[in-house]
Structure 1
Amino acid sequence: MKIALVHDYLTQKGGAERVFELLCKRYPEADIFTSLYNPQETIDLGDRAVNTTFLQNIPGAAKYFRLMAPLYFPAFRALDLQDYDLIISSSTSFAKAVKKKPGAIHICFCHNITRFLWDTETYLREYGDYRYFAPLIEQVFQAMRSVDLRYAQEPDLYIANSSIVARRIRSTYGKKAIVINYPIDTGKFSFTNTKQDYYLASARMISYKRLDIIVEAFNWLGWRLLISGNGPERDRLQSKAMKNIEFVGHVTDQERTQLFANASSVIVAALEDYGLVPVEANASGTPVVAFGAGGVLDTQIPGKTGVFFKRQTPDSLQAALLEAREISWDYEGIRNHAVKNFSEQAFFSKVEQVIEQTCSLYQSSTRFVS
């Protein structure tokens, strides 16, 4: 069986890209396709060949990849995937639009529906400069929504990373989705039973991550907080932070591993569709204090692996932090929870069963029709 792996764009290194990296490692003989590729800014694919679209030839496209939005659908439709029996796409937006040959199977790992089209207000708020062009953007997006709906029918099966994403796929695209929580490389995280007296927030500094809530809560508590990551919100957040809060910026993978392992708790204030950070914290034996909505409802056990706060407010977060401080955590149990449920082995055991069942079902229906 000849396999093609397709991702929206490889111009950054986020959660979706880390999942795609695992897929590439799992299927070393598969061919890789994407719209834009910047090897210096994304996952490590070694010496694997990466096939790109005509967008790769546009000067500056990889840097300003968001401005290419209207061109992605035609770019993916133009890819020649007629030699492939199985297409596995990894998508939050465009890769699901690829064309397959008759009889081929397309399975889409959908990290979310196309967010900027279906949650435009949040998108524009996150990228503040775009709001000046809101009327024009809305006209373009309105036209793109119908295209997105049409191409959303291309995959034969959707795999969602969380229950909330599966509900969005069904309500927006009218397609059912199987929920398989995405994995982490548990071997990359170290475990210790001895935690240090600091808390950790690890996130890109953009508005929806709600780091402002965390800063304000720790300003009031006076506890030591480390914040790793960078982004457009950094200067504003630093200007509000007291001396107990330290911004450590970009850290290496090794430094990040140690930060996760030694923290008293990892704090997550965003409404995440899935969220790898809480799972990574658990893999380090570290409990999570998280806003109790979205993906964490699939990954965390209240009182066992973490504590939820009900509202995205500093007061609600403070109450959860005080609650977490009184719990005698079973750090080894937290680690075991992550390894059992979110390891690569657990993930691919489920994925390959689904792929096998889908291929068998499709082949059976094809024989029946013929």
Structure 2
Amino acid sequence: MKIALVHDYLTQRGGAERVFELLCKRYPEADVFTSLYDPQKTIDLGERIVNTTFLQKIPGAAKYFRMMAPFYFPAFRALDLQDYDLIISSSTSFAKAVRKRSDARHVCFCHNVTRFLWDTETYLREYGDYRYFAPLIEQIFQLMRNVDLKYAQEPDLYIANSSVVAKRIQQIYGKPAIVVNYPIDTSNFVYSDTKEDYFLASARMISYKRLDIIVEAFNWLGWRLLISGDGPEQARLKAKALDNIEFLGHVSDRQRKDLFSQAKSVIVAALEDYGLVPVEANASGTPVIAYGAGGVLDTQIHGITGVFFKRQTPDSLQAALLESGRITWNYENIRNHAVNNFSEPVFFQKVEQLIDQTCITH
């Protein structure tokens, strides 16, 4: 069976790209396609040939890939995938639009619906420079929504990373999606049942991560908090933080492993569609204190692997922190929960069963 692997664009390294990297490793003989490719900024594909679209020939397109938004659908529709029996797309937006042969199958790992089209207000808030073009953007986006909805009917099977995303796919695209929680490489995390006297937050310093809530809560409690990561919110957060809060900036993979395994708890205040950090913490034997909405509802068990707080406020987080302190955590059980449910072997066992069923039922 000839397989094509297709991703929106390989110009950055985020959660979606890490999943695509797993797919590339799992299917080493498959051909790889994307709209734009910048090998210096994205996952390491080694000597793998990466087939791109006509957009790759536009100077600066990879750097300013968001500006190419109106052109991605035509670019993916122009790809010739007629030789392939199975197409596996990895998409938050455009790759799901590829054409397939009538007797071929298309399985889409949908990390989200096309967010900038269907949640435009939030998108423009995060990328403030685009606000000034909002009236023009809205006209273009309305046309693109119609196209997105049309091409969303192309895949034969949708796989979503969480129940939240599956519900969104059903509501917006009218397509059912099967939830398979994305995995982590559990060998990248070290287990420890000895915890040091600090809490950890690990996130990009951007507004929706709600690190401001965490800083305010720990200002009030006076407990030691370490924050790893960097981003545009860093200066503002540092200005608010008291002496019990330490900003580590970017840390190495080795440092990150140790930080996760030795923390009393890892704190997550963002509303995430899925979120790998809580699973990574559990793989280290560390409980999670998380805002109780979104993807964590698929990955965490309240009182067993972590504690949820109900509102994105410092008071609500403080209450969860105090509740966590009254729990006698079984760190080995926390680790086992992650390994048994979110490891790569478990993930691919589920995925390959679904792909086999999809190909057989055709």
TM > 0.5 fold call: yes
Corresponding position: 1:59 with 2:59: yes
Write out per-residue CA displacement over residues 182-236 of structure 1, whole angstroms, 9 at most, x where no aligned residue: 1111111111111111111111111111111111111111111111112221222
Task: After TM superposition, list the pairs within 5 Å mapping 1:133-212 onto structure 2.
Answer: 133-212=133-212
Q: Which moved more, 1:12-21 or 1:106-115?
A: 12-21
Corresponding position: 1:268 with 2:268: yes
Tell me the residue number matched to 2:256.
256
Q: In structure 2, what residue type is equivalent to 1:345? A: P
Q: In structure 1, what residue type is equivalent to 2:23? A: L
Q: In structure 2, what residue type is equivalent to 1:40? A: Q
3-state DSSP of counterpart to 1:260: helix
Instruction: Quote how far apart the aligned CAs of 1:127 are.
Output: 1.3
Distance (Å, rounded) in 2 between the aligned partners of 1:243 and 1:145 = 48
Distance (Å, rounded) in 1 between the aligned partners of 2:250 and 2:71 = 32
Distance (Å, rounded) in 2 between the aligned partners of 1:213 and 1:60 = 38
Distance (Å, rounded) in 1 between the aligned partners of 2:53 and 2:227 = 37
Q: In structure 2, what residue type is equivalent to 1:210? A: R
Tell me the residue number matched to 1:361.
361
Q: In structure 2, what residue type is equivalent to 1:27? A: Y
Corresponding position: 1:287 with 2:256: no
Tell me the residue number matched to 1:237.
237
3-state DSSP of counterpart to 1:112: coil
Instruction: Quote how far apart the aligned CAs of 1:45 are.
Output: 1.3
Tell me the residue number matched to 2:315.
315
Q: In structure 1, what residue type is equivalent to 2:291? A: F
3-state DSSP of counterpart to 2:166: helix
Instruction: Quote how far apart the aligned CAs of 1:81 are.
Output: 0.9
Instruction: Quote how far apart the aligned CAs of 1:16 are.
Output: 1.0
Write out per-residue CA displacement over residues 87-130 of structure 1, whole angstroms, 9 at most, x where no aligned residue: 00011111101111121100000011011110111111111222
Structure 2 alignment gaps of length 5 or more: none
Instruction: Quote how far apart the aligned CAs of 1:56 are.
Output: 1.5
Tell me the residue number matched to 1:132.
132
3-state DSSP of counterpart to 2:361: helix
Tell me the residue number matched to 2:111.
111
Q: Which moved more, 1:250-259 or 1:352-361?
A: 250-259
3-state DSSP of counterpart to 1:124: helix
Distance (Å, rounded) in 2 between the aligned partners of 1:253 and 1:62 = 27
Q: What is the TM-score of this pair, normalised by structure 1?
A: 0.96
Distance (Å, rounded) in 2 between the aligned partners of 1:148 and 1:68 = 15
Write out per-residue CA displacement over residues 54-89 of structure 1, whole angstroms, 9 at most, x where no aligned residue: 222222222221111111111111111111110000
3-state DSSP of counterpart to 1:293: coil
Q: Which moved more, 1:165-174 or 1:225-234?
A: 225-234
Q: In structure 1, what residue type is equivalent to 2:88? A: I
Tell me the residue number matched to 1:3.
3
Distance (Å, rounded) in 2 between the aligned partners of 1:259 and 1:49 = 37
Tell me the residue number matched to 1:46.
46
Instruction: Quote how far apart the aligned CAs of 1:21 are.
Output: 0.8
Tell me the residue number matched to 2:336.
336
Distance (Å, rounded) in 1 between the aligned partners of 2:216 and 2:355 = 46
Distance (Å, rounded) in 1 between the aligned partners of 2:42 and 2:259 = 22
3-state DSSP of counterpart to 1:136: helix
Tell me the residue number matched to 2:120.
120
Identity %: 81
Q: In structure 2, what residue type is equivalent to 1:93? A: S
Tell me the residue number matched to 1:367.
none
Distance (Å, rounded) in 2 between the aligned partners of 1:242 and 1:270 = 21
Distance (Å, rounded) in 2 between the aligned partners of 1:245 and 1:54 = 48
3-state DSSP of counterpart to 1:63: coil
Distance (Å, rounded) in 1 between the aligned partners of 2:135 and 2:210 = 27
Tell me the residue number matched to 1:96.
96
Q: In structure 1, what residue type is equivalent to 2:48? A: R
3-state DSSP of counterpart to 2:227: strand
Distance (Å, rounded) in 1 between the aligned partners of 2:322 and 2:308 = 12
3-state DSSP of counterpart to 1:89: strand
Q: In structure 2, what residue type is equivalent to 1:15? A: G
Q: Which moved more, 1:154-163 or 1:57-66?
A: 57-66
Structure 1 alignment gaps of length 5 or more: 363-370
Distance (Å, rounded) in 1 between the aligned partners of 2:356 and 2:302 = 34
3-state DSSP of counterpart to 1:102: coil
Q: In structure 1, what residue type is equivalent to 2:167? A: R
Instruction: Quote how far apart the aligned CAs of 1:32 are.
Output: 0.8
3-state DSSP of counterpart to 1:150: helix
Q: What is the TM-score of this pair, normalised by structure 2?
A: 0.98
Instruction: Quote how far apart the aligned CAs of 1:310 are.
Output: 0.2
Q: Detail structure 1 runs of 4+ shifted over 3 Å in the superposition.
A: none
Write out per-residue CA displacement over residues 272-327 of structure 1, whole angstroms, 9 at most, x where no aligned residue: 11111101111111110000001100100000000000000011011101111221
Distance (Å, rounded) in 1 between the aligned partners of 2:304 and 2:181 = 19
Tell me the residue number matched to 1:215.
215
Instruction: Give the root-mean-square deviation of aligned CA atoms.
Output: 1.0
Q: Which moved more, 1:345-354 or 1:65-74?
A: 65-74
Q: In structure 2, what residue type is equivalent to 1:324? A: S
